Amino acid sequence: MLDDAPPTVPLAAVIPFDSHLPQRIEATLQLWQQLTGSAPPPPIAPLTAQQRRRLTLMLRALDGWQARASYREIAAVLLDPLVRSQSRREWLTSSHRAQIIRLVRDAIRRMRGGYRDLLSGRYARTHDRGASSEP
């Protein structure tokens, strides 16, 4: 830190990308916390197997939706090929249909900025409930 710099001037850190990078980043974060009085961030819990599976399904459903596949086509590929043989009435009340619609809706929300929740470790707290109903 520069002795002649006013206290309002932002500080910068130069961090070499070498074998000690993780330790340097941790030390820089600790310095920032000391200077700003910030609390350390909560640890980021890894995604559960179920969360990883759902995110994978969301990405695959989004790919199908963006390729203009119908919800029924997406469900047949991702969930159960037998949905192709369901009557229209059975399909409209199918749990697979509801699941695919939710997966696509939640994937669109993630694509439009909700992915930041994953980066900050907030997947479980901001899980896709309450997202807009637009697909």
Query: What's the pLDDT tens digit per position in 86-95?
Result: 999 999 999 9
Residue 81 pLDDT grade (very low, low, confident, very high; cuts 50, 70, 90): very high
Per-residue pLDDT tens over the stretch 104-115: 999 999 998 888
Specify whether 110 is located in the same domain as 56.
Answer: yes
pLDDT of residue 128: 46
Asked if residue 96 belongs to a domain, the reply is: yes
Per-residue pLDDT tens over the stretch 7-64: 777 878 899 999 998 899 888 888 888 888 887 777 777 888 998 999 999 999 999 9
Host domain of residue 61: 49-119
Q: 10 Å Cβ neighbour count for 21?
A: 11
Specify whether 58 is located in the same domain as 16.
Answer: no
As a whole number of angstroms, the distance between CA 32 and CA 132 comes to 37
Provide the residue count of the chain: 135
Q: How far is CA 14 from the centre of its chain?
A: 29
Specify whether 55 is located in the same domain as 72.
Answer: yes
pLDDT of residue 47: 83
Our count of domains for the chain comes to 2
Residue 67 pLDDT grade (very low, low, confident, very high; cuts 50, 70, 90): very high
Give exposure, 60-87, as e/b (b: 16+ Cβ within 10 Å).
Answer: ebbebbeeebebbbbbbbbbeeebeebe
pLDDT of residue 119: 73
Q: Does 75 have pLDDT greater than 90?
A: yes
Task: State pTM to two decimals.
Answer: 0.62
Specify whether 69 is located in the same domain as 104.
Answer: yes
Q: Does 122 have pLDDT greater than 80?
A: no
